[in-house]
A = this chain, B = another copy of it.
Amino acid sequence: MSASDESLQLTATDLRMATFRLARRLRCARAVDAMSDAQLAVLATLSMHGRRTLTALAERERVTAPSMTSTVNGLEEQGYVVRTPDAEDRRRVQVDITEAGAEIVAQTIRRRDELLAEMLGELDFTEEELAVLRAASALMRKVVEP
């Protein structure tokens, strides 16, 4: 049986507050200071899902094409991505992550995970509490990836 509207609303409020605060705190931990959120999001997408066209990246990040052009320009200047013309459709430009770009993503993820693991460790959580957090994480991912 599914849950009541009241439970849904209470849970939504709790989860929204907790999610925003934790995200805000973790966002401070970056591998490279010169890396913006926008640039890192593009690199993370390319790292996970491989080459993408500029339009596909813009849609995924929910920004306009000119905005994504600017972000990709910045990444290309730093050597973290390369543009490759598409042989089949010459209007298209494929964006690929470089080794340096992949390394930046890995460093940033590692640093953020270490920070969060330290924060969790300082509170002396029990295995049961950590299990609750992992179970909730799985549910949260179902919410955003239906």
- A28 to chain B: which residues have CB within 8 Å? 62
The answer to whether B127 and A3 have CB atoms under 8 Å apart is: yes
> Please, which residues of chain B bring their CB within 8 A of the CB of A1?
126-127
- From A2, A25, A114, residue with most partner B Cβ within 10 Å: A2
| Chain A, range 1-54, C-beta contacts under 8 Å to B | 1-5, 7-26, 28
The contact of A132 among B19, B124, B139, by CB within 8 Å, is: B139
Interface residues of A in 104-146 (CB under 8 A from B): 109, 112-114, 116-117, 119-127, 129-130, 132-146
A-side interface residues, number (CB < 8 Å): 59
Instruction: Give chain B nearest CB distance to A9 CB in angstroms.
Output: 5
When chains A and B are docked, how far (Å) is the Cα of A124 from the Cα of B1?
8
Within 8 A of B (CB), among A38-74: 62
Cβ distance A138 to chain B, nearest Cβ, rounded Å: 7
* Interface of A toward B, CB cutoff 8 Å: 1-5, 7-26, 28, 62, 109, 112-114, 116-117, 119-127, 129-130, 132-146
